[in-house]
């Protein structure tokens, strides 16, 4: 009886700990090429410590830079499904804490894996459900240069006019710079109705599980090589408020064109899927974070109950064993 009570309390603690951690291709995706964060600025080392560079191999020997990603736990990276929607991927190299592609600093760690999951409903024609998870077994140690970005709880949403940050890699063309340095820029969230009006001429429909971000005049945008990277937004209007990942760089028409903003997979629509396919496989607690002014600390009652039951289920497994 005492053991069962301890297990139940452990299950509660298991849930409670969640709150503690804190292209240019027309109509296509923004997969690796010679592009960059258009209109952005060079990032300083450790400024965006969740940024990951993803390389893929078709031979387990030669790895090619493919996409960006975001560290969300000690052994999971979040990215776009279209980054892996290709045959014969035999290996994945993750560079975490990376600041430059061609000359990684001593703060960069590398992890090799061949374990990834594309959302089962991903549609390569419409880029719907453009989300993927990459798992690596050898966990990373958090420091000033390597930190996870939290997932948003249900209370943390974005709306038109809100400013968020995009980040990614790529050569700065025409400058003679040989190091592909991480770059970032601020973009505004554009409401779905306005975005669909702008994209109607291209027969593109942006849905509620996608986010548009950029500017009506263009000039700042994600581009080739930025796919899979984060759209990071602060939890509140406060300048010291923590960032959460609200979007994954998915697709766009051209780069930085007027009335053609970048389109991002909305994380809010897939938090349950992400939680299900991370905690259930490894026990690692993916941090959810909420608006401190709201008081709701979890992503809805459904996830809270699911996590508690998962912790209790593990206790039952121990008894059986």
Residues annotated as catalytic are 82, 130, 227
The closest alpha carbon to 24, from 34, 16, 9, 10, belongs to 34
Residue 147 has a CB neighbour count (10 Å cut-off) of 18
Task: List Cβ neighbours of 12 (8 Å cut-off, separation of 6 or more).
Answer: 308, 311
- Burial of 295 per CB tally in 10 Å (0-12, 13-18, 19+): exposed
3-class SS at 23? coil
Give the helix ranges, DSSP H, for the chain. Answer: 2-16, 192-199, 271-282, 300-320
Q: Which phi and psi (to 5°) does residue 320 adopt?
A: -60, -40
Q: Tell me how far apart the alpha carbons of residues 9 and 110 are, in angstroms, rounded to a whole number.
A: 37
Q: 211 and 264 in contact (C-beta within 8 Å)?
A: yes
Distances (CA, A) of 17 to 20, 130, 284, 286, 289: 5, 29, 11, 9, 11
Tell me how far apart the terminal alpha carbons of the chain are, to the nearest angstrom: 17
3-class SS at 261? coil
């Amino acid at each position: 009886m005492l053991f069962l009570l301890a297990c139940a309390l452990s299950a509660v603690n298991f849930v409670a700990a969640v709150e503690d951690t804190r292209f240019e291709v027309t109509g296509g995706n923004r997969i690796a090429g010679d592009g960059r964060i258009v209109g952005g600025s060079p990032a300083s080392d450790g400024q965006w410590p969740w940024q990951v560079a993803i390389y893929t191999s078709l031979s387990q020997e030669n790895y090619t830079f493919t996409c960006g990603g975001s560290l969300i736990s000690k052994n999971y990276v979040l990215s776009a499904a279209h980054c892996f929607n290709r045959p014969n991927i035999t290996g994945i190299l993750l560079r975490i804490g990376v600041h430059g592609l061609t000359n990684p600093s001593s703060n960069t760690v590398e992890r090799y894996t061949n374990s990834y999951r594309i959302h089962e409903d991903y549609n390569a024609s419409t880029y719907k459900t453009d989300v993927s998870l990459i798992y690596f077994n050898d966990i990373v140690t958090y420091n000033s240069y390597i930190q996870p970005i939290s997932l948003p709880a249900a209370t943390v949403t974005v709306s038109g006019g809100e400013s968020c940050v995009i980040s990614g890699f790529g050569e700065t063309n025409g400058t003679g710079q040989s190091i592909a340095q991480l770059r970032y820029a601020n973009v505004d969230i554009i409401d779905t109705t306005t975005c669909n009006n702008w994209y109607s001429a291209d027969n593109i429909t942006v849905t509620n599980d996608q986010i548009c971000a950029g500017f009506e005049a263009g000039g700042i945008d994600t581009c080739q090589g930025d796919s899979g990277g984060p759209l990071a937004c602060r939890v509140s209007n406060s300048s010291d408020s923590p960032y959460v990942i609200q979007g994954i760089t998915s697709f766009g028409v051209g780069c930085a064109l007027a009335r053609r903003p970048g389109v991002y997979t909305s994380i809010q629509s897939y938090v349950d899927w992400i939680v299900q396919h991370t905690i259930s496989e490894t026990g690692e607690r993916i941090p959810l974070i909420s608006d401190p002014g709201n008081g709701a600390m979890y992503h809805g009652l459904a996830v809270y109950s699911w996590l508690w039951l998962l912790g209790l289920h593990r206790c039952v497994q121990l008894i059986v064993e």
